[in-house]
Structure formats: C-alpha cells, structure tokens
Structure 1
C-alpha cells in the first residue's frame, strides 16, 4: 500500500529516532543494510525513494549516525544507485529550496566520511558531457571550499578502508580524485560549449566565478596528489595500487578530444579565442598526469600514456610529460631545474649566482660540459641549458 505524505513523514521521524538512539554502530549498520540493501526486485524503487528522503532529512536535522550509515551504503552499492542518491540531495539542497545550501555545507563537519562519498558520487553524476550534467554553481563552490579547508577529506574513504588492490567495477571509485580531475580538465571547453560565449579559464559572462573556482579546484587536486607518497608507503601500497585508473584516463582523453574537435568546428570567434580554453584544458591534463605519476597515483608507462593521448593536439607541456623522464620535486619552493627547456623563454630574469658576476652578452653556441639530453630529441621547441 502507498503511504500518504503524513504517514511517510511519521515513518521517517521514527527511523531517525531509532538510528539516533542506537548506541552500537555495528547494530546501526546491520539495521541500515537490512532496510536499504538493494535486492534487485520491485521493492528497490521504494527503498531508493525512502532512502533519499531519510538521508535528506538526516542532513537537515543533523543526524550523524544516519550519515555514517549512508557513507557505508555509498561505498558498497552499485554506482548507478549512488548517483541517484546524489541527484536527490543536489535537487533538495541546490535546486528546489533556495538558500538551503548552507545546510548541505555542514556535512563536512558532521560526517567527513559521508562528505567524501558524496563528492565521489556527484563527480560521477556530473561528468560535463551535457549542460544538464554540469555541476550547479552552488555545489561547485561547496566542494571547492571543503577541499581547500581540508585537502585530506578526499582521501578519508581510502584511509579507512582495507583495500585488496581491486575494487568492484560497479562501485564508486575509492577516492573522488578521478572525477575532480575530469571536472578541471574538461571545464574550460564544456562551459564554453554550453554557454556559447566562453571567456578564458572556462568562465562565461553569466558565471564569472566558474573559472577561478575550477582553477582553485585544480590546485587543490594537485596538492592532494602530493600527499600520497607518504600515505601509500605507510600502507605498503606505493607502486601497487593506482588511485587513478588507466581506463578512466582513456575515457577522459577521448572526451577531451571530442570537445576539442567541437570547439574547432563550431566556434564563431577568432582562432585565438578558441585556442586559450583548449590550451588550458591540455595544460591541466599534463600537470595532473605528471603529478599523479610522480606521486604513485597513476601506474602507467610512458608508452601507454603516449598511446592514450595520441589523439590529442600538440601542447608543449603535455609533450614534455609524454616524452619523460621528467624530474619532479615535492617541495613547491624548489627553484626551477637548470635544464628546463622553458628557461630560455621565461619572462623572469634568472638571478645571478654571485652579485659581482657580469652575465655574458650571449650564450656560446655549444656547451660540451653538459651532456646531451636524449629524451628531448625531436622536441618542437628550442632547448638550451641556462646559467
């Protein structure tokens, strides 16, 4: 029998009280699993509808035990159902009720585990393939603020889960890093496609905040990747567990190639206006690939990486990463490499080693004391060591 709205509200209040008053987490998890584990039968739709309303109510009234159970449910359920729950919450707090965003914002403090799983689910849901699957501005602002306040938030599920090496294909990713990387790389072109009047950094006239938000998110993702070596070494998983999957990377480069083709074919602006978002997307991809490989998040040979990126147009930074090996330093304050091929084109003049030293008027034509760099052969830009 179908319940009336009043009966449904009464049932939700009883369930909230029941989970809140149960002091044993194991019992709560068993109860939640018995009620909402999907059985692939006709009752699944009713379970999903009630689950969405229960979790939404738990967020509204601050029922942390239910959010903790919801985090476990998101970790164990099929990703199709996880994104359905995420869609319900986004609709409730970012679309249907204006001004309710701050309530959803509080889940970061109430249940970091649920917040991490929620980010993973929404980055799976909003893949930027269409305007409808582009994250709402309010949601994007929330996620950026969460990760800026606590970069380790996106690793909570990974840190609290015993991993055997391979997660079920049907489940959500163990971290939202792959989805966040996809957002940052595709945003400049996806927002340009949807809004028709894109500016640099993926912004539009109507949403000037979007570009800086994605730039801040991209920086945060790189910073999180730089936290991984110590964590993976402590777990004995460095070089054994990839938090970014090669097949997901292949799907990203395929989507990016398609977006780049669309930008070339359908643009009505000058070639310079088209090139800026395209190069931004490729440079973000290159930066993410290099930092991910250097810190053990992506286990992929340079040959495989070149094959995956073979359909992408030329970009100097991406070409450098694909050519490898590229030295990488975790310390962001480390000065630029002396052999950087970009040094000759840098607008910043190098500091002299000794104040009294007078720089030469021109570099000599050759430097026999510096051995040739074989991996740089055939690069499309000039290469010259700098003093």
Structure 2
C-alpha cells in the first residue's frame, strides 16, 4: 500500500464514529496480515490501525490518549472482536489476527479486553476464540505473567462470581481441551507460590479441576497432543503441562493443613493421568526443574520442625510431612515408569537428599541409583 493510500485509509476511518471505525479497521487489518504479499510495511500499518482505531490507545498524531475507553465502549469493542473472530473459518487466520491484536508487546495494556473476550467465549461457549486463546497462551508461555493474569481473571469470573460454576464449566474440556490444559497450567502457577501471603485454590476450583481430570485422563496432555495452526514462519512454542504444578498442590497441601479429601481425589486423578501416558515415544510431560521446585518448601518445613525439636522423633512422626513425602515419592516413581520426566534427573535426585527419611521416597531414590549403576556397568 502506498503512502497516500495509507493516509486516505486513516482519514476515512477517522470520519467514522467509534466503535464502528474499529469494525472497519479490523477488516483492513485482516487483509494486511493475511495477504500473500504481507511485508513489514503492511505489518506496521496494521499495528497503527489497531492502536488508533481498534483499541483507541493513541490519537492521529500517535500520542497516547488521555482517557481510555469507557466501560460501554470497551463492551462494544469486545462484542465486535467476538463476532469478527468467530466468523473467520480458517484457524490459522484467526490465530494470526489474535496473536497480533494481543502481541507480547501489547498484551499487558490490552489484557483487560483480552480477559473479557476470553471470559465471554468460556461462558457462551465459543471454541473458535478459545482455540485462539489457547494458542496465545502457548506462544507467550502458559506460565508467563500474562497467561497467569488471564487465568486469574477467568477464575474470578467463573469461580468467585458465577452461580453454580461446576455446572457452567463442566463441558469446557470437551469444547476446547487444549485451552483447558493451558489454563490449568497457568492456574497452577497462581497458588502455593510464596510463604508470605500464600494463596490456596478455592474448594470450588479444586472440585472443578478434579472432576475435569478424573473424567478425562488425557486432558493434562491436550495442549501437546494438538498442534496449533500458526502464521507462516512462526515457531511453535511447547506447552508446559499442568501435571507438575497440580502435583505441587497435592504434595504441599498436607504440610499447609489444607483439606485432604479433595486433594486426595485430585492426586489420584493426576496419578491416573500420568500412568496412562504412552511409554513408547512419550511426550515431554513433566520438567525435572518443576519437580525440583517442590523440594524447596518441603525442606523449609523440615527445617522448621527441626528447629523446634532437636531429636528426630518429631520429624519421623509428623503425619503431614510423611504424607507429603509419600505423595511426592509415588508421583516421581510413576512418572519415571512411563518415561514422562525430561531434563537432568540427577538434579532432582540430588535435591531429594535434602529431605528427611521417608520409606517410600528412599525406595524410589535407591531404585534410581541402582538403575544408574546398572546402566554404567552395561
């Protein structure tokens, strides 16, 4: 597009009231980004159109607008985005537009619109937009700050505000399993994080997640089992599964005195999911570093016990600690049995040496060491 054509396009759009100008701008953005002759100039123009006419962030001179969109205008924009994206039949085209509208550079300032758009897609539900959101989370990183904020917003809308959330969300894994898998990974990052002001997942959320995974043993792997349709030349980012993050909840729940019944159910559902991972050509299901991260709070709890009692009696007889270690040891062994753990295993087992004695965990450690010796001898 020539310079004069760009000027004419912008002048034409400026004559249209908001949000109708956003509707027209989106059509042009789609042409620019999905054309066979897309170039840097087209990309730059599409970014300009988004900032000025879609998200109302800058004025005609490129200066930041002093006043953001009003709640009503934002609602109208979300409706326009929803209709526009929903009616694009080609998945790669939808993802291309979605990833550009909410790029890593602009994701933070547009997160409010994005969260409301995805929340609307969850409620209706709309699989087209949920697939876009899943691809977005995966490409930005489903444990990234932006993905975690999106997950927090969805939880707030449907767990804290909605009535009967379990009924409303029951079929979501059937509609968009990769989205749910990526959502679970981000949700897992939002709880059991720091010692100060530690947050625990609400019971309704725990129940919902437990039911999802219990009824669909492949759900945690869904984002890895389906390749997202990306723009030409884009590099697909590997999805982190929610297994390690949710295991962290189950392992640490006893030492933080959380209700054990629901965590026991979630834990069993996770073990079943891990055990059904195919042994031949297994996916990259659990990162060693994510398992190793669970060791640190266990060690801290152990040290706190030790500081209160110099003898080992309190540590050996501490039921919450031993339950946590039992769960951790069992999960590690099952994950290793299906070859679902990837990374430097020595790093994990070296860190396990810092934990107090636990019969099951010691068996797992000894078996690993014996297998290492056998491999070296052979």
What is the TM-score normalised by the length of structure 2? 0.70
2:121 is the alignment partner of 1:52: no
Aligned equivalent of 2:321:
278
Matches within 5 A, 1:1-387: 1-39=67-105, 43-78=106-141, 79-130=144-195, 132-161=198-227, 173-190=239-256, 192=257, 202-203=258-259, 211-230=260-279, 233=280, 237-238=281-282, 242-263=284-305, 271=314, 275-299=318-342, 304-324=347-367
Q: Which moved more, 1:138-147 or 1:106-115?
A: 106-115
Cα distance in 2 for partners of 1:301, 1:91 equals 37
Structure 1 residues 314 and 81: alpha-carbon distance in aligned structure 2, compared to 1, 3 A threshold: same
Cα distance in 2 for partners of 1:146, 1:251 equals 25
Q: Kindly indicate which of the two structures has a greater share of residues assigned to helix.
A: 2
Structure 2: any 5+ residue segments left out of the alignment?
1-66, 229-236
Structure 1: any 5+ residue segments left out of the alignment?
163-170, 193-201, 204-210, 328-373, 376-387
Structure 1 residues 306 and 45: alpha-carbon distance in aligned structure 2, compared to 1, 3 A threshold: closer
Q: Is the 8 A contact 2:221 2:285 kept in 1?
A: no
Q: Is the 8 A contact 1:38 1:47 kept in 2?
A: no
Structure 1 residues 117 and 292: alpha-carbon distance in aligned structure 2, compared to 1, 3 A threshold: same
Aligned equivalent of 1:378:
none
Structure 1 residues 86 and 265: alpha-carbon distance in aligned structure 2, compared to 1, 3 A threshold: farther
Q: How many residues align?
A: 293
Structure 1 residues 315 and 300: alpha-carbon distance in aligned structure 2, compared to 1, 3 A threshold: farther
Q: Which moved more, 1:6-15 or 1:120-129?
A: 120-129
Aligned equivalent of 1:344:
none
Question: What RMSD, in angstroms, separates the aligned Cα atoms of the two structures?
Answer: 2.9
Cα distance in 1 for partners of 2:218, 2:308 equals 40
Any idea what the Cα deviations from partners look like across 1:39-89, whole Å, max 9, x if unmatched?
Answer: 2xxx44331111011111111221221111001011111411110111111
How far is the alpha carbon of 1:302 from its aligned partner?
7.4
Cα distance in 2 for partners of 1:66, 1:77 equals 16
Cα distance in 2 for partners of 1:213, 1:134 equals 13
Structure 1 residues 26 and 38: alpha-carbon distance in aligned structure 2, compared to 1, 3 A threshold: same
Q: Is the 8 A contact 2:158 2:165 kept in 1?
A: yes
How far is the alpha carbon of 1:109 from its aligned partner?
2.4
Cα distance in 2 for partners of 1:72, 1:302 equals 30
Q: Is the 8 A contact 2:271 2:331 kept in 1?
A: yes
